[in-house]
Structure 1
C-alpha cells in the first residue's frame, strides 16, 4: 500500500516513478522533468511530465534554477543580441511599459540579460538565446481508488484536458486491483485518455508498510492514450506561451516542493525511503502524513528545540533546514543527470 493510504502518498510515488521510468511505452532520447500540483487558473493537474530536448534543457539551465514567470519570459525570449532600448527591442506586451521595465531589471538581477543606461534610456541585450527546450507536456491525474463515483467526477475534467489541448497527452494513474480486467477500463473515461495501473505493494513490504529494502513501483499500461495536440491554428502563439509558462513553473518547482507547504521544522518530521522515493513521515503519528495535516495547527506539532538549530548539531540549521536542502539538492541532481543521460534511473 502506498504511504499514508491517501492520494498524496500515491502522488509522490507516481512522480518518482515518472522520474525514473518515463516514458512507459519504452526508452526515448528525451530528458524528463517532473512536477506536481501545477496548472492554470482553470485547471490543476496532479502530475506534470515535461519531455525535453536534452541540449535545450541544458541551455535552459544557463538562466538559473528558478522559474521565469510570464513577464520575465517576455523579456528573455525577445532580448536582442545587440544593445537596444528596451521599448524598441521588445514587442508591445499589451500592458503598460513600466511593468516591462521592472521585468527588465529583474531579469538583469538574475543574470538573464544585461542592461546599461544610455542617458535616460535603459538598454538591454541577451546573455544567451532562450532555447527551444520543451518538446511535449504530459499530464497525469492520480486516482488510486478509481471507483464509479470518482470516474464520474473525473470524466469532465479529463474531457476538458482533451478538448483544450494544452497538454499533448493525458493519463489517469490508479492502483492495481489484481483482477483480470482492471475496473478502470470499465469506467466512463474519455477514449483519448491513457490508463496506468500501479502496483505499490512491492515497495512497502516491511513493518508498517515500509519497505524492508529499496524497491520499485511497477506500472502497467492498461489503455494507450491518443495524442491530443491540436492541429495548427490561429491560437498557436497563445498556446505556445501558456505551455512555456507551465513548463517554467514545473522546471523551477519540481515535485519535491511539498517541503514548502509542510513543516520540516517539526521535531517529528522525517524523510523515509519508500521504494525509490523519499516521502515525509511523522514520528508522532507513526505513519506518513498528508500535506494537508502537516501544518502548524497539527496538535502533534512541536518546533525543533533551539539547540537543534545552533552549534551545527546534528546538521547546521537543524534537521528541518537539512531536509529542505536535501530535497533541493536531489532535485538538482536528478535534473542534471537527466540532461546527461536521458531515460536513465537516478
Structure 2
C-alpha cells in the first residue's frame, strides 16, 4: 500500500529503482540516493549508473563520501612523491585550505604524505576511478494535481535545460486510466514519466513507463565542461555516502513507537502511535508522542543488542552494504 506522505512514496520509488533500474533500458548496475543536487536544484531520487569494475575500485577508497575538497586532492594526486603545490592544479581559493585537505586525505588513508625540506609532499595510493556512467534525476509526486504539475513542469524544464543529469523522470501513482493524467500536463517532452503501482508494496514490476525520456547527455564527440563534470562526480560521491536509507539519521529510531514495516520488498519507517509513515519533522524529539526506549531494552542481547533503535540502524546499514556488493558483482 502506498504511504500517504510523499516522503513514504519517495522511499518506495528509491527501493523500486534499486530493484529494477532501468525501467525501459534493461538492467543496469546503479546505486540510489535521495534528496541530493545543487544549490539551485534538489532532486527527490538520484540514480547513479556505474561501471561495476570501476565501482569496485571506488569502494577501495572506503565507505564514506569523498567531499569536494578531498576530491581535488585525491583525483589529482601524482603517482610519485611531489610537493602538493606542484602536483595539484590551482583550486581557485587559498592554498592553506588545500593543505588542510591533504592532511585530511592522508588521515583517511586516501593518499600518502610526507614532509621533505619543510615541504609537504604527497602521492596517490591508487588512481581515483572514472566510476560514474550516467546520472538520472527523478521527481516524485504520487498525487499529481494541476498546481503540482505546473511546479514540476518548471523544475523538470530546469533539469532538461541544464542537462546536469543524463535523464529526467517524473514518478507518479498510476490511476488505472488508459492515458495517465500526467501525460496531459505541460511537462517537458524530454522528461520521462514512470507510472507506479505500489498497492501490493514494492516489486520489480511495480512500475511501467508511460513516457520515455530523452537522453540529455552531449551528443557525439561533445563533452560537458570540466566544472560540470566535477560537479557530477561530487553529486555521485554524496549519493555513494548517503544512499536513501539514511533517513534514520534525521529521525528517532530510539522511540518506542518507531518501527520498520515491510512494503513488498521494501522496509519503510512507521509510527505505531500515529499509525502512519512519519516524516523527519514529525519523527523528532519534539513530537508529543515521543517516548524513549526503556533502559532495560538497551541491555538485552541478541537480536536487539543496544536496543531496537540501534538494531534498526544496523539492519538498514547491512541492506545498504548488500546492495553495494550486488552492484560491484554485476558482470
What is the aligned counterpart of 2:258 among 262, 265, 269? Answer: 269
Counterpart of 1:88 in 2: which secondary structure?
Answer: helix
Can you give the 5+ residue segments of structure 2 that lack an aligned partner in the other structure?
none
When structure 1 is superposed on structure 2, of 284-293 and 317-326 the one drifting more is: 284-293
Counterpart of 1:201 in 2: which secondary structure?
Answer: coil
**Distance apart, 1:275 and its partner CA:** 0.8
Aligned residue for 1:18?
17
Can you give the 5+ residue segments of structure 1 that lack an aligned partner in the other structure?
204-213
Aligned residue for 2:217?
229
Counterpart of 1:291 in 2: which secondary structure?
Answer: coil
Q: In 2, are the aligned partners of 1:32 and 1:51 still within 8 Å (CA)?
A: yes
Aligned residue for 2:322?
333
Which TM-score applies when normalising by structure 2? 0.96
In structure 1, distance between residues paired with 2:199 and 2:307: 34
When structure 1 is superposed on structure 2, of 67-76 and 234-243 the one drifting more is: 234-243
Q: In 1, are the aligned partners of 2:21 and 2:29 still within 8 Å (CA)?
A: no
In structure 2, distance between residues paired with 1:95 and 1:312: 51
In structure 2, distance between residues paired with 1:253 and 1:169: 21
Aligned residue for 1:208?
none
Aligned residue for 2:290?
301
In structure 1, distance between residues paired with 2:215 and 2:224: 18
Q: In 2, are the aligned partners of 1:217 and 1:275 still within 8 Å (CA)?
A: no
Mapping for residues 219-298 of structure 1, pairs under 5 Å: 219-230=207-218, 236-298=225-287
Counterpart of 2:200 in 1: which secondary structure?
Answer: helix
Mapping for residues 160-239 of structure 1, pairs under 5 Å: 160-203=158-201, 218-230=206-218, 236-239=225-228
Aligned residue for 1:207?
none
**Distance apart, 1:202 and its partner CA:** 2.1
Q: In 1, are the aligned partners of 2:200 and 2:263 still within 8 Å (CA)?
A: no
- Structural RMSD (CA): 1.6
Q: In 1, are the aligned partners of 2:56 and 2:328 still within 8 Å (CA)?
A: yes
Q: In 2, are the aligned partners of 1:15 and 1:47 still within 8 Å (CA)?
A: yes
Mapping for residues 87-98 of structure 1, pairs under 5 Å: 87-98=85-96
In structure 2, distance between residues paired with 1:32 and 1:89: 33
What is the aligned counterpart of 1:109 among 102, 107, 110? Answer: 107
When structure 1 is superposed on structure 2, of 63-72 and 318-327 the one drifting more is: 318-327
- The runs of 4+ residues in structure 1 deviating greater than 3 Å are 214-217, 230-235, 311-314
Aligned residue for 2:78?
80
Which TM-score applies when normalising by structure 1? 0.92
Aligned length: 330
